[in-house]
Amino acid sequence: MINMMHKLQALEDAGESIKASIVGAGQMGCGMAAQMTVMKGMDPVVVVDVILDNAKRAYINSGYKEGVDFVEAETIEEANKFLAEGKFIVTTNNEIATKCDIIDCAVDATGVPEVGAKVAMDAINAGKHICMLNVETDVCIGHLLYKLANNAGVVYTGSAGDEPGAVIELYDYAKGLGFDVKVVGKGKNNPLALTCNPDTVADIAKAKGASPKMICAFKDGTKTMVEMTAMANATGFLPDVTGAHGPESDVKGLNDVLSLKSEGRGGILNSYGVIEYVNGVAPGVFVIVGTDQPDIAAEMTYLDMGPGPNYTLYRPYHLCSLETPMSVAKACIDGEPTIVPACGRVAEVGTIAKKDMKAGEYLDGIGGYTIRGTFMAAEEADATNALPMGLVDKKTKLLKDVKEGDLITYDHVELNNDNLIVQLRRIQDNLFL
């Protein structure tokens, strides 16, 4: 990051900057825009939201004045004109974020799978780098998007600051040092409430100034399952059990809790090379490592990393969208991603019914009333015909009755074939399955 600071300063000194666009001006998008405005060598030149006032707020809260520093545009031609004049743009048209001439990198911060699919495809087709603060899209069609971006000569990347991006930095660090990485994981911020919905979390959402759907997706576990799936696809590690164990532990206890049952140290794992989440260490991320070198083991013990044979490397924070600009910079300056599904489709986010439902009813989506996600090995997902959660929208119709807790399969539903992510997933499956 220090090296990147100098690279960004060099851009600033040369009178240049990375021109970034942001799609989604919720809590994360507004924070990201504000962070970019105080950085050297980077400008958030376009902010998009379906509610125009949200996009305006991103600039106003950062000290910019409407009509002076930023203006509204409805078309790409109009936006290109204003951008050439040095104005920033607010709009409801997400194509402006990907197709305007001066854009270097687009960021999707919507968390909506079908929106992320369009933004990513538009960016790649327009020859722009794409940074996804939208893990929901990545775990569904990221393998395809990554390949398409490589073929187009642009960078497709997940975001620094999100748990998958934060943990992959630890993973790469540990692997680079030659450690045997045994477990990759993250903390969970709140206890599971598997059947919660936007209504039951409305008061919490209001208190936090967040969307009820977003809070619901955290509390019902879906966000954690999505994040672990991204970690799996980046590392090749698997769930030890479907949905992961989710034990309670503090940081000091991780070395023993995340050991093998057969090792006799109170561990819960059947095997190593797995992804796990832990209640009690949020908002941190961690990797559990080992070594067969006695001198290394002795020094790790001396450094209070534990008595061995397991040692925990722990990062106690992640700054969410405030770190996303570093992924934008890395893509634009170094031509490198922060995290990608480099191992292919290792895991899947399966779809679980939150309540009893009848044939003829419609599902909704992430953070909604009808379904939640679970973390599955891709091999198991294929064997059970599990429906990837990212394919579900409000036009997804149930063809069969389901009970609360049931795994919903492709056979249970009629998908919305007009949904771009459904179409892209079929292409991904045909090419790579």
Q: What is the pLDDT of residue 190?
A: 81
Mean pLDDT (whole number) for 260-283: 96
Q: Has residue 101 got a pLDDT over 90?
A: yes
Q: Has residue 430 got a pLDDT over 60?
A: yes
Model confidence at 201, pLDDT cuts 50, 70, 90, reads: very high
CATH topology classification for 2-162+322-332: Rossmann fold (3.40.50)
Average pLDDT of the chain, as a whole number: 96
What is the percent of the chain with per-residue pLDDT over 90, rounded to a whole number? 96
State CA 249 to chain mean position distance.
24
Model confidence at 210, pLDDT cuts 50, 70, 90, reads: confident
Radius of gyration (C-alpha) of the chain in whole angstroms:
22
Q: What is the pLDDT of residue 30?
A: 96
Q: Has residue 433 got a pLDDT over 90?
A: no
Instruction: Write out pLDDT tens, residues 126-152.
Output: 999 999 999 999 999 999 999 999 999
Q: Has residue 379 got a pLDDT over 70?
A: yes
Q: Does domain 347-432 fall into CATH 3.30.1450?
A: no
Instruction: Write out pLDDT tens, residues 44-90.
Output: 999 999 999 999 999 999 999 999 999 999 999 999 999 999 999 99
What is the percent of the chain with per-residue pLDDT over 70, rounded to a whole number? 100
Q: What is the pLDDT of residue 84?
A: 97
Q: What is the pLDDT of residue 159?
A: 98
Q: What is the pLDDT of residue 2?
A: 62
- Whether residue 344 contacts residue 320, with contact meaning beta carbons closer than 8 Å, is answered with no
Beta bridge partner(s), residue 184: 275, 287
Q: Has residue 1 got a pLDDT over 60?
A: no
Q: What is the pLDDT of residue 191?
A: 84
Q: Is 67 left (phi over 0), alpha (psi -120 to 50) or beta?
A: left
Total residues belonging to the chain: 433
Q: What is the pLDDT of residue 189?
A: 78
Per the structure block, which two tokens stand in for 298? 């002795």
Q: Has residue 265 got a pLDDT over 60?
A: yes
Per residue, the 3-state secondary structure of the chain, as one string, reads CHHHHHHHHHHHHCCCCEEEEEECCCHHHHHHHHHHHHCCCEEEEEEECCCHHHHHHHHHCCCCCECCCEEECCCHHHHHHHHHCCCEEEECCCCHHHHCCCCCEEEECCCCHHHHHHHHHHHHHCCCEEEECCHHHHHHHHHHHHHHHHHHCCCEEECCCCHHHHHHHHHHHHHHCCCEEEEEEEEECCCCCCCCCCCCCHHHHHHHCCCHHHHHHHHCCHHHHHHHHHHHHHHCCEECCCCCCCCECCCCCHHHHCCEHHHCCCCCECCCCEEEEEECCCCCEEEEEECCCHHHHHHHHHCCCCCCCCEEEEECCCCHHHHHHHHHHHHHHHCCCCCCCCCCCCEEEEEEECCCECCCCECCCCCCCCEEEEEEEHHHHHHHCECEHHHCCCCCEECCCECCCCEEEHHHEECCCCCHHHHHHHHHHHHHC
Q: How far apart are CA 307 and CA 301, in angstroms?
A: 5
- Whether residue 330 contacts residue 372, with contact meaning beta carbons closer than 8 Å, is answered with no
Lowest mean pLDDT among 49-63, 146-160, 197-211, 268-282: 197-211
What are the boundaries of each domain within the chain?
A: 2-162+322-332, 163-317, 347-432
Q: Has residue 302 got a pLDDT over 70?
A: yes
CATH fold match for the domains 2-162+322-332 and 347-432: no
